[in-house]
Amino acid sequence: GSGGKGHSGMDHSSMGHNMETGSNNATNTGSTERLTGTAFNLTAQVSKQELAPGITLPVWTFNNSVPGPQIRVKQGNTVTINLKNELPAPTSIHWHGVPVPNAMDGIPGVTQNAVQPGETFTYTFKAEAPGTYWYHSHQDSANQTDRGLYGSFVVEAKDGDKPDRDYTLMLDEWVSAGTGDKGENMAGMDHGTMNMSGSNTSGSSDMGDTSSGHGGHGASNEAGMNMGHDMSMYDLFTINGKSGSAVEQLPVKKGEKVRIRLINAGFLSHQIHLHGHEFKVVTSDGQPFNNPAVLKDTLVNIAPGERYDLEFVADNPGQWLIEDHSGGKAGQGLKAVIGYEGASAGTDKPDVSDSLPLLDITRYGEASAAMFTLDQTYSKSYDLELNTAMKNGSMVYTINGSIFPDIPPVNVKKGDTVKVRMVNNSPMDDHPMHLHGHFFQVLSKNGKPLEGSPVIKDTLNLKPGEEYVVAFKADNEGNWMFHCHDLHHAAAGMVAEVKYD
């Protein structure tokens, strides 16, 4: 994304996605619409969006906007979301991180039929665990999520203290050369041949199909090979669907307490730097750290699918960036601007320093009683070895040497305590592993027990060579996906199932 100085490119009104919140809260989500209450309508539809001044791409959206509206509910409420599919392809919604009943998890071929064009499906579940979550398509998801079918989902604590400002930033990357006709081509693609579980559901799983998942806004190559994991094709980086000179603006006033909910909806990791302020990282994947320390000039690495909530007091008037420092192309353009009331523009500059320390969540916050310990007895114990291989000329991503659906499931029964050791033997690739339907506790990294706060997550990034041990309680019956959230990797095999007897 590029574009000149100034804000002349900020009028997106013709596309109807730049709505003000209209919410009666003192806070807002920037330009993303916020929906509150208990009943919601999401329409999946094809649209176009100006992601940076002068760069308008075909997108697939919920309610005509990327991101789709924020759905914001109260802990304890039962919520209903009606999905209407106006896309030219089947779709579904997965509530990433929310421990919903299995039938509401949104996995075509496993938990429901894919929602066909013109059809509707109603999701309903009780929002129990407060936190920052998100929703996205789980049908042909490497393609559909990449095209923009995602939004944020926030469960407000019953009696949590409310910040004065509560912003949500959804991070994503695009291929700026995408053109409208590719959108039409992709719309006609048939992904209906896979059936994950052999159950009699129509539609298909989006995973384990090595021929799909590389659409990437028109980036598929001529030969039609699986090149989906070539991340260099992405050259436009957005926060809340905005980039270039029209970046997301986050107004604050001096003295206010500000929460920033970071959600990575893309396939690349980012190292986020908040300029000008001390801050705390208060949650990871929506789950709180115990007594987190104050940080300054520390990068927060956010992998695909992960969420981190930052909190700070606005005590340093001016205009400040919150931006990606991961270097290379990903460092260019992924930013938002925190602007104090009355501050003049341009008082902060992007910087490309990559020498800042990185937050290590395995030694952050204060130790406290936790659900699990390393040396307790577990009723089940599994090893997952993550790796990369070539198969028939395509790159595949394996678990224990196999690709989905040939990976033996993690079999559990209700009440089990389950320990899972994961090791990433891929030479180059990160694997952000996401477990559906459950939270897990991180017990150790590279053989070292965690120091500091217990860390509860649903998405955990493993860099090449890293080993983690996690544990979870089998308390939510069903068939659940456990997969890499680089959705290209999932599409190319890296999907296990957790199956209850």
- Which structure tokens are listed for 155? 């469960």
Q: How many CA atoms lie within 13 A of 432 on its CB side?
A: 22
Provide CB contacts within 8 A for 307, sequence distance 6+.
97, 131, 132, 133, 134, 261, 262, 263, 264, 283, 284, 285, 286
- Out of 214, 273, 335, 489, which residue is the one contacting Cu ion (CB under 5 A)? 489
**Pick from ligand C2O, Cu ion, none: which does 276 bind, CB < 5 to 8 A by kind?**
none
Q: For residue 405, say if its preceding peptide bond is cis, omega within 30 degrees of 0.
A: yes
Residue 486 is a binding residue for Cu ion (CB under 5 A)? yes
Between 214 and 485, whose beta carbon lies closer to ligand C2O?
Answer: 485
The H or E element that residue 274 is part of is: strand 270-274
Interaction pattern, residues 383-422, with Cu ion; x per rule: CB under 5 A? ----------------------------------------
Phi, psi (rounded to 5 degrees) for 226: -80, 95
* Least distance CB 387 / Cu ion (angstroms): 10
Between 12 and 147, whose beta carbon lies closer to ligand C2O?
Answer: 147
Rounded to an integer, what distance in angstroms lies between the CA atom of residue 206 and that of residue 119? 19
Rounded to an integer, what distance in angstroms lies between the CA atom of residue 306 and that of residue 434? 9
Between 295 and 386, whose beta carbon lies closer to ligand C2O?
Answer: 386
Rounded to an integer, what distance in angstroms lies between the CA atom of residue 324 and that of residue 352? 9
* Least distance CB 185 / ligand C2O (angstroms): 25
**Pick from ligand C2O, Cu ion, none: which does 483 bind, CB < 5 to 8 A by kind?**
ligand C2O
Per CB under 5 A, which region of 139-147, 231-239, 339-347, 486-494 contacts Cu ion? 486-494
Between 196 and 322, whose beta carbon lies closer to ligand C2O?
Answer: 196
Between 138 and 229, whose beta carbon lies closer to ligand C2O?
Answer: 138
Between 136 and 182, whose beta carbon lies closer to ligand C2O?
Answer: 136
Per CB under 5 A, which region of 53-61, 247-255, 274-282, 481-489 contacts Cu ion? 481-489
* Least distance CB 136 / ligand C2O (angstroms): 6
Between 252 and 490, whose beta carbon lies closer to Cu ion?
Answer: 490
Region label for 61, one of left (φ > 0), alpha (ψ between -120 and 50) or beta (otherwise): beta
Q: What number of other Cβ atoms are within 10 A of residue 126's Cβ? A: 14
First to last CA, the chain: 50
**Pick from ligand C2O, Cu ion, none: which does 306 bind, CB < 5 to 8 A by kind?**
none
Between 242 and 489, whose beta carbon lies closer to Cu ion?
Answer: 489
Between 96 and 489, whose beta carbon lies closer to Cu ion?
Answer: 489
**Pick from ligand C2O, Cu ion, none: which does 218 bind, CB < 5 to 8 A by kind?**
none
* Least distance CB 495 / ligand C2O (angstroms): 8
Rounded to an integer, what distance in angstroms lies between the CA atom of residue 177 and that of residue 174? 9
* Least distance CB 138 / Cu ion (angstroms): 16
Per CB under 5 A, which region of 129-137, 333-341, 347-355, 429-437 contacts Cu ion? 429-437
Residue 431 is a binding residue for Cu ion (CB under 5 A)? yes
Rounded to an integer, what distance in angstroms lies between the CA atom of residue 227 and that of residue 53? 29
**Pick from ligand C2O, Cu ion, none: which does 305 bind, CB < 5 to 8 A by kind?**
ligand C2O
* 3 state DSSP class of 103: helix
* Least distance CB 146 / ligand C2O (angstroms): 12
* Least distance CB 432 / Cu ion (angstroms): 7
Give contact residues for ligand C2O (rule: CB under 6 A): 94, 96, 136, 138, 305, 434, 436, 481, 483, 485
DSSP state of 370: -
**Residue 369 burial (10 A CB sphere; 0-12, 13-18, 19+):** exposed
Rounded to an integer, what distance in angstroms lies between the CA atom of residue 110 and that of residue 397? 21
* Least distance CB 339 / ligand C2O (angstroms): 31
Q: Strand 307-313 relative to strand 257-264: parallel, antiparallel, unpaired?
A: antiparallel
Provide CB contacts within 8 A for 224, sequence distance 6+.
211
Q: Which residues pair with 390 in a beta bridge?
A: 395
Between 350 and 409, whose beta carbon lies closer to ligand C2O?
Answer: 409
Q: Which residues are near Cu ion by CB under 5 A? A: 431, 484, 486, 489
